[in-house]
Chain A
Amino acid sequence: MSRILKHRLFWPLVILVALLALNLFFTDNFFKIEMKEGHLYGSVIDIVRFGAPLILVSLGMTLVIATSGIDLSVGSVVAIAGALACLRISDLSDQNSVGGVLGAVGLALVLSVVLGAWNGFLVAGIGIQPIIATLILMVAGRGLAQLITDGQITTVNSSPYKLIGGGYWLTLPFGIIVVAVVLALTAFLTRRLALGLLIESVGGNAEASRLAGISARGVLMTVYAFCGLCAGIAGLMISSNVSSADGNNAGLWIELDAILAVVIGGTPLSGGRFSLSGTVLGALIIQTLTTTIYSIGVPPETTLLFKALVVTIVCLIQSPAFRTKVFHRRRRPVTASPAPEEKVRVTA
């Protein structure tokens, strides 16, 4: 029992279940999933579907945070990717041509990777603190996105592009499939190959891992580029869902939500270890919270208030200092660092 209580994913899971249970009282048929015209429908499906961009951004963010970095620019990358894709598609003579849309999507994703690699270059190549290095792109990126769309909201009317964020494939929303593929790929790369171990070792101590023969710079560049790519895909989803690109508001504050999701999922901001499943849980908690607030009839404006409350509670529960001070169960020094065996333990 105590092992379950101490498991890293225990508290996030409890909160998610509690939130879902809350919905049961307020919404009839909350857990009902039905088939309509060959598509799956239901509140739970909607939570995953609308949460898909956040999950993607959070996945990239998890790896960045695992290297004890942070990426504030994801929101701007979301806006830029959406803006560029919509601009290219609106320039096409036939907006429904699959080739043209693929070209636009590919170009947007390449740009996202380049932007991510730029962050990686600032952090690994020049050695700027991650929070500041990515602040540059966060500020300038919004301007770039508006520059691309010329300050307008670019709308497109393209059915292949609409598929990414709003369409269905094999009865499931396409967004969920994309998330599942990216998640599976990330889990494979980091947990079945050595990459995850390298990321954690760079996060634990970049200098020591360099001396141990790990190319810390290469790992950092890869991680930031991957984070840019995830943000780019999320940007395509968001803009495709509404068939338009808004340089000013697309992905606004998604970086904060993503960081929250990562922290709620039990990945410490100090880096050195990470939990992909925890992050997915965290992102789902945030999305469920938003959905719950809509469904129980609290004014949606107070979402932020609830978010603040949940963040504070989750962070307090996860803080060792808080637990020792409040529960007085374990009387050990306040500066207790995570037990060494936790660092070695690897969970997919």
Chain B
Amino acid sequence: MTGITGLLDRRRAIPQKYIPVLVTAGLFVAMFVAGGIRYENFATGQIILNVFIDNAFLLVVAVGMTFVILTGGIDLSVGSVVALATMLSASLLKDGWPAYAVMVLVLVIGAVLGLAMGAIIHYFEIQPFIVTLAGMFLARGLCYTISTESIPIDNPTFTDIAQSRINLGGDLSVSPSAVIAVVVVLIAAYALHYTRLGRNVYATGGSEQSALLMGLPVARTKIAVYTISGFCSALGGLLFAFYSLSGYGLSAVGMELDAIAAVVIGGTLLTGGSGFLFGTVLGVLVLGLIQTIISFEGTLSSWWTKIFIGLLLFVFILLQRVFSGGSRRRSP
């Protein structure tokens, strides 16, 4: 362990905080190249764009999760909120609501749910784990109260968004959902790295006590990140509704795990205070590429995806441990 960190200390050119992100980027490139050598028609731009298209909702959800994890918290409710958003939009559209009103309402409900959880976490000092667990049960339960069956969406606005493709020139095209996801990433990256809110998020995650003593608005920050996560989950749910064109109470089961895995693989420390949004994007891309490779392979069964994600998680957590543990022990 000391050997590796010693080696890194001598090479001052790359700051240590960028190493996990660079490793993830390297992994992504390596997987892409390996896939390109092994399979025909793999090494094209469209494959990467397809990963974006197929994982747009996960990307948006993971962005919200990054905010929460950066403050040292966790949000287990995201998968259920995604399902609730698809369910709500499907049932409201069936009742004849206008599409844009439905979208706004769903986003507001997601944000309010996040706000409520954040307020309980902060003001009543209950662990985020338990509060968001209750939120997860609540949202999933609400889905089932709406309906236990899958509700199809045939609203013209929704189907238009689902079927349209934006041409990027050549043979490349993306879905509007992927564009929305990228816009969300850009806004979030700006907010996290160039605004006061972003600084407060990092400070709160680094040490809540110190942030409080410095006079930073810890309460506002903590509640804000859960609200952002709730909003992102609802938006992810809308994108999921575009993608699947139906609402179903059992959709997005376990998506909170995928989102957490993406954030961890992207190099964000789960103790909070350290990480980049760009890393999360790479994390989502790596997860997406694993699925693409497994579908290209054809003979591998779907459960290998889970085993590979588990292995990757293990490697990256070990990596985090080597880097963060090594540097912390050096400077007591």
Contacts and interface: CB of A to CB of B under 8 A. Distances in A.
Given A256-B136, A304-B140, A307-B141, 13 more contacts: A70-B129, A128-B321, A132-B317, A135-B313, A136-B310, A140-B310, A143-B303, A260-B130, A304-B138, A308-B138, A308-B141, A309-B138, A316-B124
A302 B147 CA distance: 10
Q: Interface size for chain B: under 10, 10 to 19, 20 to 34, or 35 or more residues?
A: 35 or more
Given A135-B257, A139-B257, A315 B138 contact: no
A63 B277 CA distance: 36
B321 A315 contact: no
A17 interface: no
B314 A301 contact: no
A95 interface: no
A304 B140 CA distance: 7
Given A256-B133, A308-B138, A131 B126 contact: no
**Which DSSP category, helix, strand, loop or mixed, fits chain B's interface?**
helix
B126 A319 contact: yes
B131 interface: yes
A325 interface: yes
Interface residues of A, number: 48
Contacts of A263: 130
B134 A140 contact: no
Given A132-B270, A305-B137, A311-B137, A325 B310 contact: no
A229 B202 CA distance: 40
Contact of B261 (A139, A142, A302, A320): A139
Interface of B: 74, 120, 123-127, 129-131, 133-138, 140-142, 144-145, 148, 249, 257, 260-261, 264, 270-271, 301-307, 309-311, 313-314, 317-318, 321, 325
Contacts of B313: 132, 135-136, 139-140
B135 A142 contact: no
A347 interface: no
Contact of B303 (A126, A146, A269, A316): A146
Interface in A95-144: 126-129, 131-133, 135-144
Contacts of A315: 126, 130-131, 134
B310 A137 contact: yes
B141 A321 contact: no
A302 B139 CA distance: 11
Contacts of B249: 301
